[in-house]
Amino acid sequence: MQSKGLILFSNIMEINKALDHISEIHRHLSKTEVYRGIGSFPIALSGLITFMAGYFQPHFVAKDDSLAFIIYWSFLALINLTLAFGVISYNYFFRESPIDRKRTRATMGQFLPSVLAGLIITFFLTLDTSIHGLYYDSMSNNEALFYLPGIWATLFGLGILSARPYLARHFIWVALYFFIGGIKLFFMAGDKTSLTPWGMALTFGFGLLLISGVFYWSNERQNND
């Protein structure tokens, strides 16, 4: 009986060790798995929409009208965010496993604070401009608005960098691109040229296409081979 008890105890210990090893492997796999909650196509579509918005900006925004520029590009950002989070939400509720959903929550939890910060800064700067009536005097528009494009690019790059643990390693270069774009737009804000349509289109349009390319290369290319 004692011998059988020792054998049973030994088997239980082996099972516990095996479960511990499985749990450890699962933790390592969770760390190495990258976020796959959105595909490359919706992001590429957002990039193309951004380039189109740059092309059509002169038809909707008067030259040197900084407040109209901010409203125009804020509306475009709303369209792109709706597209992206629509796809993410659909995948989250209808296609992802519990582990994938957990990764989605973690990724969005890292990325969204930067987007929220951009929305808050934009809202209060444009509100301040509207309250003081600067909308009707384009030459005396609030000079802080000229820095918003650089702020947007920098915060977007910061959001990508924050979510980096859940993204493919190449996203570090994407974040760097947005940081460089933000710095360039800050320099352009000094001489009030940051509100040109191609400043935004090249920074965000090409940046989104770059994100799409990285998603395709890291997540989808092997499935299509």
Give 108-120 pLDDT, tens digit per residue. 999 999 999 999 9
Domain boundaries, given as residue ranges, for the chain: 33-224
Residue 33 pLDDT greater than 80, yes or no:
no
CA distance 66 to 40: 32
**Which burial class, exposed, middle or buried, applies to 213 when counting CB atoms under 10 A from its CB (0-12, 13-18, 19+)?**
middle
Handedness of CA 172, 173, 175, 179 (dihedral sign): positive
pLDDT class for 192, splitting at 50, 70, 90? confident
Q: Mean pLDDT across the chain, nearest whole number?
A: 84
Q: Which residue has the higher pLDDT, 223 or 162?
A: 162
Residue 43 pLDDT greater than 60, yes or no:
yes
What pLDDT score was predicted for residue 139?
Answer: 40
Q: Which residue has the higher pLDDT, 214 or 142?
A: 214
User: Percent of the chain having pLDDT more than 90?
Assistant: 61
Q: What's the average model confidence in pLDDT over 46-68? A: 92
What pLDDT score was predicted for residue 175?
Answer: 97
What pLDDT score was predicted for residue 140?
Answer: 42
Residue 162 pLDDT greater than 60, yes or no:
yes
Q: What's the average model confidence in pLDDT over 41-62? A: 95
Residue 138 pLDDT greater than 50, yes or no:
no
pLDDT class for 173, splitting at 50, 70, 90? very high
Q: What's the average model confidence in pLDDT over 147-163? A: 96
34 in helix, strand or coil? Answer: coil
pLDDT class for 65, splitting at 50, 70, 90? confident
CA distance 215 to 221: 9
What pLDDT score was predicted for residue 22?
Answer: 60
Q: What's the average model confidence in pLDDT over 180-203? A: 92
Residue 2 pLDDT greater than 60, yes or no:
no
39 in helix, strand or coil? Answer: coil
**Most trustworthy range by pLDDT among 33-42, 44-53, 132-141:** 44-53
Least confident of 41-50, 144-153, 215-224: 215-224
Burial per residue of 159-171, b for 16 or more beta-carbon CB atoms within 10 angstroms, e otherwise: bbbbbbebbbeeb
